[in-house]
Amino acid sequence: MDNRHELFIEREYRDFLQQRYPNYGARYRGMAPDISIGPGATVGGPLPRPRRRIEDFAKAHLRWCRERYISYRAYDNTFQPFEGPRRPCNSPYN
- Dihedrals phi, psi of 36, to nearest 5 degrees: -115, 145
Residue type, 54: I
Residue 7's pLDDT band, with cuts at 50, 70 and 90, is: low
* Tens digit of each residue's pLDDT (9 = 90 or more) over 13-66: 777 777 777 665 665 555 555 555 566 555 666 777 666 676 788 899 999 999
Whether residue 93 contacts residue 60, with contact meaning beta carbons closer than 8 Å, is answered with yes
- Coil, strand, or helix at residue 87? strand
Greater pLDDT, 8 or 30: 8
pLDDT for position 42: 57
